[in-house]
Amino acid sequence: MKTKLILLSLIASITFAHEGVELGPNKGRILEFSKNETMHGEVTVKGDKFHIALLDKDMKPVAMAEQTLTATTGERDKPTKLTVEKDAKGFVVPVVKSGEWLILQYKDSAKAKAITARLEYNTAICDECKKAEWVCECKKADEKK
């Protein structure tokens, strides 16, 4: 019984918790594209597209060169590959449906090992900051202390 209560409490805290995510210079969601925090992707939405700008460790724009990105969404057993376009600032990917996961695999060069980043596109509005949960500016409860 005690285990069930703990499990239910944990599920409830995850379900109703704010995202409390790191935001970049353009108020987009920051995703890690390196193991040592030297490369980031800042995800913003314009129209029906995700724009993923590349930023260095100081959150400054990175010049586009050999970098590649693959994007998928959908069910784990039947993922859908998304079209990725490259522009001067980074990459452009179609927006996924609210509640779906966007899985990104970033490579600095063709020979580099891919770094995987995940984003749940939760468009529910946060009661506190009035932003979509996927870019919620509120800190998690344990970070507020």
Q: State which residues form the domain around 24.
A: 2-144
pTM: 0.80
* Lateral strand order in the sheet of 115-120: 78-82, 68-75, 101-107, 115-120
End-to-end CA distance of the chain: 30
Strand pairing report for 39-46 and 49-56: antiparallel
Q: How many domains does the chain have?
A: 1
Q: Tell me how far apart the alpha carbons of residues 128 and 114 are, in angstroms, rounded to a whole number.
A: 36
Place of tokens 């409490």: 9
The 10s digit of each residue's pLDDT in 72-129 is 999 889 999 999 999 988 999 999 999 999 999 999 998 999 999 999 999 999 999 8
Q: Which pLDDT score, from 0 to 100, does residue 141 have?
A: 45
